[in-house]
């Protein structure tokens, strides 16, 4: 665990990095699919080659452990390689053609549409994933894949790792043929604020706290030329368990819940923070039995360490809240797991108190005595990254599922939400405050955040981007005159 870094990038230094990114942007945008994919794979290969060094630094700064960190490096390089495949496959371009039709009323010109990179992107690193949501994480990978240089704001919780990762990836990109200025790093809160306001920056990606993200969101929106800000800010990730599910598999559900909310010392953005359980079903006792043996551990930063007990006190101050169980005693400076409980009526009445995200190993069990009480409490839940429903075939859960689908971007029917598969179909985003947009920050379609549409009307073929020319279209997924073609 580290305190905040004192290194700060100056305004002059930021201007130089931005100028280099601006010069690199047209080269990235013009690079063909094979070239751009090769650059992404070169970055992945370089990280894999330096995994021992990087994991050592990361463990010194975060104490997340070698096993977790090695796995996270694998996820990070896997993301880079996934986006290389996305670039080569080509459907992300949304190529669309309407051929000229003089007989139409009014006459229709030749229209050819595609998505292009927005330009240099700012990425803000997260504390809880020092590789996968950091310097070379999913935001950076998807922005590069879209054809944009990236300037990363390092997280103060792992400054040395950020610096070394940036140096490795930036060097690998240039050695593979990418231009100078493809990836850069800035440090310090003031530099981060200046970065999101810099006129060269055309979009930003962020993973972090609601307060910090909202402040940056406001800066991005308040620019003379506002830019999109894609923030992942906070999520309580509601879980609903039915009476029939408790009767059928209550013990395994209780064990799974404890394992999930304590995973990574409760510092996953997908942690199940609010769990709706049927009153009188005995689920609280089952959870207490498993929670009593759960261990905690050190939190990632001093700020998170200080905020965790304050968050617990805030919840416990509500008259409806009681302690169900606590985990094994924690060492000084570490967090002890805790399970709290309340009821559905209290949640519906005071959601601003009971449904505030608390980062760390805590979950809140919410008892409900009727379908009406459950529905009223669920309606009070803020937008989340995930929602989970544990039910049996005999349950009528249509109304519950309708609410959960409105509240979250990923709905689970088995298992627990901690852990996010990096795939073509993944959605890691949800209604506010989970994210500031409807887009995902994980998976193939994360690339869409850093693209904008351009239409070419009656353009001579020689002046069209190569992918919009007829010979290229025959090989690429596209839509022509309303008909979808898969390419070859």
Shared-domain flag, residues 366 and 450: no
Q: Which of 190, 84, 212, 192 has its CA nearest to residue 147?
A: 84
Residue entry with tokens 């850069």: 184
**Ranges 3-7, 114-118, 161-165, 387-391: which has the least confidence:** 3-7
Any domain includes 280: yes
Give pLDDT, residue 4: 44
Shared-domain flag, residues 336 and 441: no
> How far apart (Å, rounded) are the C-alpha atoms in residues 249 and 242?
11
Any domain includes 112: yes
- On the question of pLDDT at 300 being above 90, the answer is no
Q: What's the CATH code of the domain at 311?
A: 3.40.309.10
> How far apart (Å, rounded) are the C-alpha atoms in residues 52 and 56?
6
Q: Which of 7, 65, 101, 402 has its CA nearest to residue 264?
A: 65
Any domain includes 432: no
Shared-domain flag, residues 198 and 347: no
Shared-domain flag, residues 270 and 369: yes
> How far apart (Å, rounded) are the C-alpha atoms in residues 441 and 445?
8
Is 358 catalytic? The answer is: no
> How many other C-beta atoms can be found within 10 angstroms of the C-beta atom of residue 249?
15
Give pLDDT, residue 6: 63
Q: Which residues contact 318 (CB under 8 A, 6 or more apart)?
A: 342, 346, 350, 353, 354
As a whole-number percent, the residues of the chain with pLDDT over 90 amount to 93
Shared-domain flag, residues 69 and 208: yes
The H or E element containing residue 123 is strand 121-124
Q: Over range 442-468, report the average pLDDT.
A: 97
Any domain includes 172: yes
Q: 42 near 172, Cβ under 8 Å?
A: yes
> How many distinct structural domains can be found in the chain?
2
- On the question of pLDDT at 388 being above 80, the answer is yes
Q: 386 near 412, Cβ under 8 Å?
A: yes
Shared-domain flag, residues 146 and 56: yes
Shared-domain flag, residues 219 and 251: no
Domain containing 257 equals 238-412
Q: 301 near 130, Cβ under 8 Å?
A: no
Interval 345-373: pLDDT, tens? 999 999 999 999 999 999 999 999 999 99
Q: Which of 61, 187, 269, 357 is catalytic?
A: 269
Q: Which of 64, 338, 373, 17 has its CA nearest to residue 191?
A: 17
Shared-domain flag, residues 213 and 78: yes
Any domain includes 485: no
Shared-domain flag, residues 228 and 246: no
Specify the pTM: 0.94
Shared-domain flag, residues 378 and 457: no
Q: What's the CATH code of the domain at 448?
A: 3.40.605.10
Give pLDDT, residue 3: 43
Shared-domain flag, residues 395 and 259: yes
Is 269 catalytic? The answer is: yes
Any domain includes 428: no
Any domain includes 4: no
Shared-domain flag, residues 258 and 400: yes
Any domain includes 64: yes
Interval 80-137: pLDDT, tens? 999 999 999 999 999 999 999 999 999 999 999 999 999 999 999 999 999 999 999 9
Q: Which of 232, 284, 357, 373 is catalytic?
A: 232
């Amino acid at each position: 665990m580290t305190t905040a870094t004192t290194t700060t990038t100056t305004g002059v230094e930021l201007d130089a990095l931005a100028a280099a990114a601006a010069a690199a942007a047209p080269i990235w945008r013009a690079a063909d699919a094979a070239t751009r994919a090769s650059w992404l794979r070169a970055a992945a290969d370089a990280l894999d080659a330096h995994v021992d060094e990087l994991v050592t630094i990361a463990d010194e700064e975060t104490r997340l452990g070698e096993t977790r960190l090695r796995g996270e490096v694998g996820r990070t390089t896997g993301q880079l390689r996934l986006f290389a495949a996305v670039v080569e496959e080509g459907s992300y371009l949304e190529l669309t053609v309407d051929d000229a039709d003089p007989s139409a009323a009014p006459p229709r010109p030749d229209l050819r549409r595609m998505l292009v990179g927005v330009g240099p992107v700012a990425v803000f690193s997260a504390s809880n994933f020092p590789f996968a949501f950091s310097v070379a994480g999913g935001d950076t990978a998807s922005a590069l894949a879209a054809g944009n240089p990236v300037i990363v704001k390092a997280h103060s919780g792992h400054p040395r790792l950020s610096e070394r990762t940036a140096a490795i990836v930036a060097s690998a990109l240039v050695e593979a043929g990418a231009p100078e200025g493809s990836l850069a790093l800035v440090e310090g809160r003031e530099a981060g604020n200046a970065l999101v306001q810099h006129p060269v920056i055309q979009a930003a990606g962020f993973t972090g706290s609601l307060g910090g993200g909202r402040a940056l969101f406001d800066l991005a929106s308040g620019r003379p030329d506002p830019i999109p800000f894609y923030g992942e800010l906070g999520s309580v990730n509601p879980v609903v368990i039915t009476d029939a599910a408790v009767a059928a598999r209550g013990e395994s559900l209780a064990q799974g819940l404890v394992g999930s909310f304590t995973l990574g010392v409760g510092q996953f953005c997908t942690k199940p923070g609010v769990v709706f359980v049927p009153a009188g079903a005995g689920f609280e006792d089952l959870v207490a039995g498993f929670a009593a043996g759960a261990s905690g551990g050190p939190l990632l930063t001093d700020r998170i360490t200080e905020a965790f007990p304050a968050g617990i006190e805030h919840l416990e101050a509500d008259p409806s809240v009681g302690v169900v169980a606590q985990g094994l005693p924690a060492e000084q400076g570490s967090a002890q797991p805790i399970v709290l409980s309340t009821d559905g009526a209290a949640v519906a009445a005071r959601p601003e108190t009971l449904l505030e995200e608390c980062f760390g190993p805590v979950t809140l069990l919410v008892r409900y005595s009727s379908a009406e009480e459950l529905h009223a409490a669920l309606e009070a839940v803020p937008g989340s990254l995930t929602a989970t429903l544990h039910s049996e075939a005999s349950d009528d859960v249509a109304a519950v599922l309708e609410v959960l689908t409105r509240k979250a971007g990923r709905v689970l029917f088995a298992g627990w939400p901690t852990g996010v598969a990096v795939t073509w179909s993944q959605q890691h985003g949800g209604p506010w405050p989970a994210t500031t947009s409807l887009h995902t920050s994980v998976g193939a379609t994360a690339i869409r955040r850093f693209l904008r549409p351009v239409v070419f009307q009656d353009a001579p073929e020689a002046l069209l981007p190569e992918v919009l020319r007829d010979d290229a279209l025959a090989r690429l997924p596209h839509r022509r005159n309303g008909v979808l073609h898969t390419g070859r």
